[in-house]
């Protein structure tokens, strides 16, 4: 019965088979019995009302304003639906077509996920702590988004620098309505001198794929593990 891009008005037309010499009142009711929700409409929401078709006229219309949110709901070409029903009329009879659908088209682009980074570094920690890589999505979605990741020891960091058992890949779920997630890699506090404070060993974190979102430009970053041992000291052995 009506179709619009979110933010516009759903306009349902009413047509009468012939003119009357008196005003005709048509009562209507809107029902959110499809995928559309209250948040898709402009507040305050009017769920029922009446339309007066003036004497001598044959048409009227019902207008339902929709809300342009920032939520990804499938993107362009995806619709959420509701129902419009003519419930009764005064001065006319109801015809065969008294219930139709209203379609609200989403207008958001597919959200994009990126790893947070500063000059290529996504996480930094002193050994023994957790490397925490942040994931940021460009906009919210009405469904959970799953982001898959892979860690690679392709720098100076080795397996012994991480807490066992080492997890080299996994997935992060960004819940519906949220825009952030994180990947946690525990590191191991060994007793090995590896350059001391201010010296780092590095590894790579990569976003490999996503379900419900696209990958952005920043999909690979470094993780830096800082040594915490002091410089070793040498002495001659001696007795008394």
Average pLDDT over residues 150-173: 96
Regarding beta strands 2-5 and 48-53, do their DSSP bridges make them parallel or antiparallel, or are they unpaired? unpaired
Between the alpha carbon of residue 106 and those of residues 5, 31, 78, the distances in Å are 6, 19, 6
Q: What is the pLDDT of residues 215-239, one digit of tens each?
A: 999 999 999 999 998 899 999 999 9
Question: What residues contact residue 9 under an 8 Å CB cut-off, 6+ apart?
Answer: 63, 64, 65, 66
Check pLDDT > 90 for residue 240: no
pLDDT band at 207 (very low <50, low <70, confident <90, very high): very high
* Three-class DSSP labels, 150-209: EEECCCCCCHHHECCCCCCEEEEEECCCCCEEEEEEEECCCCCCCCCCCCEEEEEEEEEE
Q: Per residue in 124-135, pLDDT tens?
A: 999 999 999 999
Residue 195: pLDDT over 90:
no
Helices (H), 73-165: none
Query: How far, in Å, CA of 94 to CA of 116, rounded?
Result: 59
Please write the tens of the pLDDT for every residue from 86-104: 999 999 999 999 999 999 9
Q: What is the CA radius of gyration of the chain?
A: 31
Write out pLDDT tens, residues 31-43. Answer: 999 999 999 999 9
Give the span between the Cα atoms of 178 and 137, in whole angstroms: 8
Q: What is the mean pLDDT of residues 43-50?
A: 97
Q: What residues contact 93, with CB distance under 8 A and at least 6 apart?
A: none
Residue 53 is predicted with a pLDDT of: 98
- Which pairing describes strands 2-5 and 99-105: parallel, antiparallel, or unpaired? parallel
């Amino acid at each position: 019965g009506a179709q619009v891009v979110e933010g516009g008005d759903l306009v349902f037309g009413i047509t009468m088979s012939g003119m009357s010499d008196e005003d005709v009142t048509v009562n209507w009711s809107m029902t959110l019995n499809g995928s559309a929700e209250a948040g898709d409409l402009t507040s305050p929401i009017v769920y029922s009302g009446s339309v007066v078709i003036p004497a001598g006229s044959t048409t009227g219309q019902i207008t339902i304003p929709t809300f342009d949110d920032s939520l990804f709901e499938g993107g362009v070409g995806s619709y959420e639906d509701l129902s419009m029903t003519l419930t009764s009329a005064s001065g006319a009879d109801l015809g065969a077509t008294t219930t139709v659908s209203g379609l609200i088209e989403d207008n958001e682009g597919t959200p994009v996920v990126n790893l947070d980074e500063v000059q290529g570094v996504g996480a930094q920690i002193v050994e023994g702590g957790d490397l925490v890589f942040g994931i940021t999505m460009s906009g919210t979605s009405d469904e959970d988004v799953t982001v898959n990741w892979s860690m690679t020891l392709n720098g100076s960091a080795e397996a012994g620098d991480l807490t066992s058992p080492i997890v080299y890949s996994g997935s992060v779920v960004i819940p519906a309505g949220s825009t952030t997630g994180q990947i946690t890699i525990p590191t191991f506090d060994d007793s090995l001198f590896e350059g001391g404070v201010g010296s780092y060993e590095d590894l790579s974190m990569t976003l490999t794929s996503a379900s419900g979102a696209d990958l952005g430009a920043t999909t690979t970053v470094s993780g830096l593990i800082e040594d915490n041992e002091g410089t070793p000291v040498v002495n001659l052995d001696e007795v008394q």
